[in-house]
Amino acid sequence: MANVNVTIRMDENLRKEAALLFDDLGIGLNQAMTLFVKQAVREQRIPFEITRNIPNKETLDAFKEIELMKAGKIPFKAYDNVDELFEDALK
């Protein structure tokens, strides 16, 4: 079967990061894309789960706490630098 050229557009930084990863794994970007397509055809689906990035309850609670701090309803301590933060945390 003859090979064909396929052109895709992606963010330049994403391409560079992917090339570094795949090089580290011992394959090139073209091989990685071919692996992805072969797996998708074999499984007749995207070969990984695609989900929305929905924060969990702990993260949502942290967001609420920050909003309450901003509104002055919960006291909080601020630091001028990281050294002060670590000094206080290590007490």
Is the pLDDT confidence value at 52 over 90? no
Would you say the pTM of this structure is higher than 0.75?
no
Q: Domain-by-domain residue ranges, the chain?
A: 1-50, 57-89
| Residues 47/39, Cβ–Cβ less than 8 Å | yes
Q: What is the mean pLDDT of residues 45-72?
A: 92
**Residue position matching structure tokens 């499984």:** 43
